[in-house]
């Protein structure tokens, strides 16, 4: 039975490679081959990047005779990559699987369901950690002096490191599930945790060279610190270098941690998995607030957005980036002034187009927020609910467009005002920047909604399809990237003809005219098309 459950779990994971989620039909052999070729190409690209990183790490450490420290550092990266790659799926895989209730209703012990879920987590951990560990050991085999024992241990450690990562991700998933089962809006919790992990990941990426330089300059002290304070990682490095005692210790630690993790999760799995799908009902007075149809539709759209971590993270990431960017510019204002001063010496014309820098930065971040684009497709099989209500297609589309503007505009205006202050722009100039940005947000929202009406997709099995794998969203984001860059190029070319303020006023007026035309189409032809869906 366990083998059948595991086979079913992996078949569902790779279902989209064999069956087109949009049509529900099997892909052709060439289609399946193409999907796997594309996936393999991405994995090889990532592996190549980490192989290049191995050169930076391994050259100095192998020369200094600290090969074990090289494996420790690459092992840490493998653990971080494995955790980052699979942690977002662990919570959903363990506790939010759609067939949890069906399997729990069958005569299947919860422990077998849990080990089935954990097997998929292990597979994901193996894939992501292997992207780092395999290139690292290949580099060591080619450029290092490795014994036969070390080569064998390196191969075995591919699976042991993945087991260690599985423990870490399962613990993190358990913590998220525990928190989510005790809060009202668990989607916000997931989004906050994801943003923190994203921030930590990109901080490490942007500071990678400085981190590597500091590590290599203090290799001896770092090695001693790892041996004392992170002995399990020390054992990993020594095992990869061919130490049999360290190999036994690391293997034993990984297996014991996995057994303990499984034992702890087994006791709480049934409780959390069932509680996650239920709502807590409290007795008390019921307060009913009346509101207009327009406000009710707006509330419905907002509730849909806040109920989906996938929707928020993929179509609203810029909303979180803009305030952080503004605060960062405010804190680092002295550095920003130095950069502007240095650029002014090299490019005397930079001051005349400086206001467009505010517009470009804010619009590029706001262009990531394709909130309105997938909103039509996300109605899915529940579209009949809207049709059963006494509301017109025009009212529904207006609510979706208003939500896009309402979510994007406050953060964009805040960022524009703060950046304008940091760059010492005049009040009128900042106001014109805000006017341009407002027109841009309106235009991208209306254009994305038009795409949703013209090319809806209701035949999806996962909401990730219309959100992450949609041509509509891709086109919308490309517009959000291309339009600010095009506007900046125009400002540069016309800098000797008109000032940046005049240019922004004219450009904002043009964007508003286009937005008005798109909104008129949504209110007429678009509403008629929506009613006919």
Q: Is residue 281 scored above 60 in pLDDT?
A: no
pLDDT level of residue 157 (50, 70, 90 thresholds): very high
Model confidence, pTM: 0.65
According to the model, what pLDDT value does residue 288 have?
46
Q: Which of 336, 353, 66, 354 is nearest to 227 (CA)?
A: 66
SS3 19: strand
Tokens for 72? Answer: 């420790």
Q: Which helix (H) or strand (E) element contains residue 310? A: helix 309-315
Q: Is residue 278 scored above 50 in pLDDT?
A: no
Q: Which of 465, 470, 472, 484 is nearest to 447 (CA)?
A: 472
User: Phi and psi dihedrals of 296, rounded to 5?
Assistant: -65, -40
Query: Which residue has better confidence, 349 or 374?
Result: 374
Mean pLDDT of 435-446: 95
Tokens 């959100």 locate to 467
Mean pLDDT of 300-308: 86
Least confidently predicted of 59-68, 247-256, 361-370: 59-68
Over the stretch 22-40, which tens digit does the pLDDT of each residue have?
566 787 888 888 888 888 8
Angle (nearest 5°) at CA 500 between 422 and 493: 125
Mean per-residue pLDDT over the chain, rounded: 80
According to the model, what pLDDT value does residue 106 have?
64
Tokens for 294? Answer: 């327009």
Over the stretch 454-498, which tens digit does the pLDDT of each residue have?
988 887 766 777 887 778 888 898 888 889 888 888 887 888 888
Least confidently predicted of 73-77, 145-149, 199-203, 209-213: 209-213
* Beta bridge partner(s), residue 99: none
According to the model, what pLDDT value does residue 436 have?
94
According to the model, what pLDDT value does residue 179 have?
65
């Amino acid at each position: 039975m366990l083998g059948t459950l595991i086979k079913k779990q992996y078949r569902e994971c790779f279902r989209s490679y064999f069956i087109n989620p949009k049509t529900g039909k099997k892909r052709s052999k060439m289609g399946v081959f193409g999907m796997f070729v594309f996936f393999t190409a991405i994995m090889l690209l990532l592996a190549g990047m980490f192989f290049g990183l191995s050169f930076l790490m391994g050259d100095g450490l192998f020369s200094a005779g600290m090969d074990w420290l090289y494996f420790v550092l690459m092992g840490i990266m493998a653990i971080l990559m494995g955790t980052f790659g699979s942690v977002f799926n662990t919570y959903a895989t363990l506790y939010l699987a759609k067939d949890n209730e069906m399997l729990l209703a069958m005569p299947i012990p919860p422990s077998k369901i849990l080990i089935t879920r954990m097997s998929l987590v292990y597979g994901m951990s193996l894939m992501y950690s292997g992207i780092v560990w395999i290139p690292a050991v290949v580099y060591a085999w080619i450029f290092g002096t490795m014994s036969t024992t070390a080569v064998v241990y390196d191969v075995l450690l591919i699976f042991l490191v993945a087991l260690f990562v599985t423990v870490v991700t399962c613990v993190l998933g358990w913590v998220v599930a525990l928190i989510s089962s005790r809060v009202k809006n668990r989607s916000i919790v997931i989004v906050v945790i994801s943003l923190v992990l994203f921030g930590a990941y990109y901080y490490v990426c942007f500071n990678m060279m400085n981190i590597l330089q500091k590590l290599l300059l203090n290799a001896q002290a770092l090695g001693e610190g790892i041996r004392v304070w992170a002995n399990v990682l020390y054992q990993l490095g020594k095992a990869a270098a061919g130490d049999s005692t360290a190999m036994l210790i690391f293997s034993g630690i990984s297996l014991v941690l996995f057994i303990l993790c499984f034992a702890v999760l087994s006791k709480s799995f049934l409780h959390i998995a069932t509680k996650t799908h239920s709502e807590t009902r409290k007795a008390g007075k019921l307060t009913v607030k009346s509101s207009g149809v327009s406000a009710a539709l707006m509330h419905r759209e907002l509730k849909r957005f806040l109920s989906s971590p996938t929707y928020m993270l993929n179509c609203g990431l810029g909303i979180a980036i803009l305030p952080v960017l503004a605060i960062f510019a405010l804190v680092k204002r002295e550095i920003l002034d130095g950069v502007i001063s240095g650029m002014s010496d090299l490019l005397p014309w930079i001051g005349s187009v400086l206001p467009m820098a505010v517009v470009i930065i804010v619009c590029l971040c706001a262009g990531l927020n394709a909130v309105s684009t997938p909103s039509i497709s996300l109605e899915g099989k529940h579209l009949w609910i809207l049709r059963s209500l006494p509301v017109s297609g025009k009212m529904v589309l207006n609510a979706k467009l208003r939500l896009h503007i309402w979510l994007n505009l406050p953060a964009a205006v805040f960022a524009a005002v703060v950046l304008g202050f940091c760059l010492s722009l005049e009040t009128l100039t900042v106001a014109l920047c805000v006017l341009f940005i407002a027109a841009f947000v309106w235009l991208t929202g209306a254009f994305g909604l038009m795409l949703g009406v013209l090319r809806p997709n209701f035949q999806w099995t996962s909401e990730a399809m219309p959100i992450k794998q949609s041509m509509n969203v891709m086109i919308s984001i490309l517009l959000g990237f291309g339009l600010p860059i095009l506007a900046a190029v125009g400002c540069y070319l016309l800098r000797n003809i008109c000032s940046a303020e005049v240019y922004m006023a004219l450009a904002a007026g043009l964007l508003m005219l286009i937005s008005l035309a798109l909104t008129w189409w949504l209110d007429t032809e678009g509403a008629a098309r929506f009613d006919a869906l």
